Structure 1
Amino acid sequence: MARKARNGRRVLVVDDEVDLAELLELTLIKMGLDVDTAHGVAEARAALARTRYDLVLTDMRMPDGEGLEIVEYIERERLDIPVAVITAYGSMQNAVAALKAGAFDYLAKPLALDQLRTLVKSALNLEEAPAEAGPLPDRPLLGDSPAIRQVLELVEKLARSQAPVYITGESGSGKERAARLIHARGSRADKPFVAVNCGAIPENLMESEFFGYRKGAFTGADQDREGFFQAAAGGTLFLDEVADLPLVMQVKLLRAIQERKVRKVGSTVEEPVDVRLISATHQNLARCVEDGRFRQDLYYRLNVIELKMPPLREMGEDVVLIARQLLGRLAVQNGQTVPALADDALAALRSYAFPGNVRELENTLERALALSDGSAITAFDLQLSPQRLDDETGGGADCPLQDHLDRVERAAILDALEKTGGNRTQAAKLLGVTFRSLRYRMDRLGLAGKD
């Protein structure tokens, strides 16, 4: 399926998950792009053979092959098309293989749509869109619960200090937002804030990425290049997922912190650096030290002051406040009227554990906004189970979240189809969703019905 673009750029989305492919398609269309979709490697090759694309986004694993085959096909045919791969969280080996094969970037699941937009703008050299509605600059951490108020009070104190800060918290709980707020409220606010995901850098590139390199230091080093430390000079260097640093790199980072100097790869002299370090991880860093995976001396250097970010499930009614704010921003960003949150949707938000925290909430709302009728978002649009994963409903450590949610959704759809004699149009009305939304959900779940 193709849509007419407002700026003449065409993107091929390759993913066998119909819901995800549609979400990507809707996001790209709202950026003014022409979008075609393919649901497998063979279908993608056929599309590439007959159509000229400006960008390809492909999942890594599909029933008839891997996204890596598409990357290799584009390179082999010399199509000169930037291609980005979508890989499962933690599958860095796949991402590195894709980059070596010729991909220009990758995205990890669960997808963060703001990162997708940034990637697409970079690949296509699109002009920046108008500023999006969002949290006020002086309050990027929303909420009024005791947990978030305590965080904000500590942030104010940390901003007045220059000591290293160690931020803990689950994935998606806002660790980088807190780091940015500490930087913005401090004396270094007018200097750079450089964020580094330590788990996203191949081990053989870490030293040159952190400290820079001299021309001729290795094959391909055709000019001098600054590293993260130099880029953050005078400002703040934020090391996210610091527990993923290999031991060899931990030794070099420790020396840089102790000496306040770094040596570029290929250089014989050290250069002084002035940065404030803020680090974060969702792992238990003290346990990593006990297990021998993280150096104790580096741990004490980084963990001078600890800031713990609360998970969304501990923030009480803040989940509704944050959901409404995110929904408003997403609707404005997509040029839509802000829909209401139905009572059953509010109840679902309050009862769901949100293992992915605010990041999961934002992705959930964006998907619901794309698939709802536009006037109101219901619990069915959210696709959340009101049960905790560790209760007696079948969710738990042995039951993946998506499998549990699929079972709940399948049961609701089958019940509605039974009540309407298998008529999908009537079932959609009964469930409070659009026919289009129901059709895509049924396709994903492998259900059949009749109009």
Structure 2
Amino acid sequence: MKRILILDDNLTICLMLKSWLVKKEYQADTATSVQEAQQKVRNEAYDLILSDIRMPDVDGFSFLSWIKKFDSAILVIMMTGYADIESAVESMKLGAADYIAKPIEAELLYKKIADAFKVQENQRFTEQFRDPLIWPPGECYDAISAKVNEVIHDESHLLVIGDNGTGKTSVARYIYSRGRIDSGPFVTIDLNPQSLTRNCEKGDHETHFMQSLERAKGGLLLIQNLQKTGITIQTMLLRTLSAQKKDEDFVQIIMTTEEKKEQLELILLPKLADLILRSYIELPTLRGNREAILFFADHFLEVVNRELDKKMVTIEREVLEALFNYPWEENIKEMKYLIFKACLLAEGDRISAKVLPALFNTPVGERSESPQLQREGLEGLKKENYEKEKIIEALRIARGNKTVAASILNIDRKTLYNKIKLYSIEVN
């Protein structure tokens, strides 16, 4: 359910608009001052804000500017009187999705909100498949690339094996983006029992699986955590893989798992294991792979420069050595996070050894004495403390912008908001 905040100093207008939106099954909140609105935005993951352009405390332009810095994914529709139409149009240049003139007509409001969400949805769909798949040089990655291109050409199924953060989902998205021009939807199902329970009505996992397969007709179905599935879904998957014909309803299936090939042969039904292990790739970990670490460090340095408007030029040798010795338990995902953090800590246009103590959260001197101390420090932290710390750092790196912070952490906005509330993190 989409969540909308209504900002207007006239409480009557707020309540009227709220009643309209609730009828359309939106979740709506109200605020009669910019200060109240800002506090609510800090605490809740709003999808859209209806904001009056003229407020007694702070004008709508200032509030719009604050929103775009705080969470650039929140859509804003400005409400204005006919005399301020030119100002409303100007607000769109500053990032507003649209404007609507008072007195507001319900049907026009519904249309403008629906149109704004549709445009945003199309943009997000395009952006998630826009970036190319980035591979370091080397025989291992060349072989992976060749297999992926073969799967794209043949529209065949694929099993992707890899540790947490190695890029399994990125491979699936790349295959989808390079597939048929008239490709259908990209559908994801996580076979982890906890995820299935959250997404299923009455715990009917098998029905949820079949519904996901049905929704993916003509497109691609990404099946995550293959190793977590039970016998019933394994049987259904085996039947699907064996019986599919390449027609307009054909579903290309990409399966991912963190289990090694040998373990899968013990976990899965023999016929299913035999079938899917005919076509698989195994993504390498970063741990100990100096060439790959250097490649991804340079790549994310470019990403930082682009996304945060930085001008970072180089990473000094001592920092690279620290990265080479790092355990990389979350692989590429963790690399992105640490490079963003390093750029925040760095002075000037280079990442120097000065950032190391803060980068790895160790007291000064420990990192140079023993790289193993850093690993032990991380392993000694409780999961929730480590996660809270990463969120706080990501918010600092993103200068408080929750959309950018969520991107750094590789989670969606609403998950980030929930984590912020869970850990009582204060956001300015």
TM-score w.r.t. structure 2 length? Answer: 0.51
Tell me what 1:201 maps to. 196
Tell me what 1:65 maps to. none
1:339·1:374 contact (CA, 8 Å) conserved in 2? Answer: no
2:300·2:336 contact (CA, 8 Å) conserved in 1? Answer: yes
Q: Cα deviations across residues 305-352 of structure 1 (Å, max 9, x unaligned)?
A: 111112223643232222122122123212333353222222222332
Structure 1's 273 and 129: CA in aligned 2 closer, same or farther, altered over 3 A? closer
Q: Which whole-Å CA distance do the structure 1 matches of 2:74 and 2:291 have between them?
A: 35
Q: Which whole-Å CA distance do the structure 2 matches of 1:392 and 1:347 have between them?
A: 10
Over the matched positions of the two proteins, sequence identity in percent amounts to 19
Kindly provide the amino acid, as one letter, of the partner of residue 53 in structure 1: K
Q: Which whole-Å CA distance do the structure 1 matches of 2:264 and 2:299 have between them?
A: 36
1:147·1:314 contact (CA, 8 Å) conserved in 2? Answer: no
Tell me what 2:251 maps to. 275
> Does 1:178 pair with 2:171?
yes
> Does 1:54 pair with 2:54?
no
Q: Which whole-Å CA distance do the structure 2 matches of 1:135 and 1:248 have between them?
A: 32
1:243·1:283 contact (CA, 8 Å) conserved in 2? Answer: yes
Tell me what 1:245 maps to. 229
1:231 Cα deviation from its structure 2 partner: 2.8
Pick from 140, 147, 152: which aligns with 1:147? 140
1:198·1:244 contact (CA, 8 Å) conserved in 2? Answer: yes
Kindly provide the amino acid, as one letter, of the partner of residue 41 in structure 2: D
Kindly provide the amino acid, as one letter, of the partner of residue 211 in structure 1: M
* Mapping for residues 152-163 of structure 1, pairs under 5 Å: 152-163=145-156
1:362 Cα deviation from its structure 2 partner: 0.6
Pick from 317, 331, 344: which aligns with 2:305? 331
* Mapping for residues 12-161 of structure 1, pairs under 5 Å: 52-54=39-41, 56=43, 127=120, 139-161=132-154
Structure 1's 343 and 286: CA in aligned 2 closer, same or farther, altered over 3 A? closer
Q: Which whole-Å CA distance do the structure 2 matches of 1:189 and 1:118 have between them?
A: 31
* SS at 1:238 equivalent: strand
Tell me what 2:344 maps to. 370
Q: Which whole-Å CA distance do the structure 2 matches of 1:120 and 1:302 have between them?
A: 41
Structure 1's 183 and 229: CA in aligned 2 closer, same or farther, altered over 3 A? same
Tell me what 1:322 maps to. 296
Unpaired stretches in structure 2, ≥5 consecutive residues: 8-35, 48-70, 76-115, 382-428
Tell me what 2:109 maps to. none
1:194·1:232 contact (CA, 8 Å) conserved in 2? Answer: yes
Kindly provide the amino acid, as one letter, of the partner of residue 329 in structure 1: V
Q: Cα deviations across residues 173-229 of structure 1 (Å, max 9, x unaligned)?
A: 1122223333344446744333333323227153343323xxxxxxxxxxxxxxx22
Tell me what 1:232 maps to. 216
Q: Which whole-Å CA distance do the structure 2 matches of 1:392 and 1:329 have between them?
A: 27
* Mapping for residues 292-311 of structure 1, pairs under 5 Å: 293-311=267-285
Tell me what 1:359 maps to. 333
> Does 1:211 pair with 2:237?
no
Tell me what 2:160 maps to. 167
1:288 Cα deviation from its structure 2 partner: 4.5
* SS at 2:287 equivalent: helix
* SS at 1:170 equivalent: coil
Q: Which whole-Å CA distance do the structure 1 matches of 2:294 and 2:231 have between them?
A: 42
2:186·2:221 contact (CA, 8 Å) conserved in 1? Answer: yes
Aligned length: 274
Unpaired stretches in structure 1, ≥5 consecutive residues: 1-6, 10-48, 58-80, 84-116, 213-227, 262-271, 405-451
What is the RMSD computed on CA atoms of the aligned residues? 4.7
1:400 Cα deviation from its structure 2 partner: 6.1
Tell me what 2:410 maps to. none
Structure 1's 130 and 341: CA in aligned 2 closer, same or farther, altered over 3 A? farther
Report the more deviating stretch, 199-208 or 172-181: 199-208
* SS at 2:43 equivalent: strand
Q: Which whole-Å CA distance do the structure 2 matches of 1:120 and 1:236 have between them?
A: 29
Q: Which whole-Å CA distance do the structure 2 matches of 1:239 and 1:246 have between them?
A: 13
Tell me what 2:96 maps to. none
Tell me what 1:312 maps to. 286
* SS at 2:273 equivalent: helix
1:229·1:273 contact (CA, 8 Å) conserved in 2? Answer: no
Structure 1's 178 and 130: CA in aligned 2 closer, same or farther, altered over 3 A? closer
* SS at 2:256 equivalent: strand
Report the more deviating stretch, 339-348 or 353-362: 339-348
Q: Which whole-Å CA distance do the structure 2 matches of 1:301 and 1:181 have between them?
A: 23
Q: Cα deviations across residues 419-448 of structure 1 (Å, max 9, x unaligned)?
A: xxxxxxxxxxxxxxxxxxxxxxxxxxxxxx
Q: Which whole-Å CA distance do the structure 1 matches of 2:293 and 2:159 have between them?
A: 25
* SS at 1:237 equivalent: strand
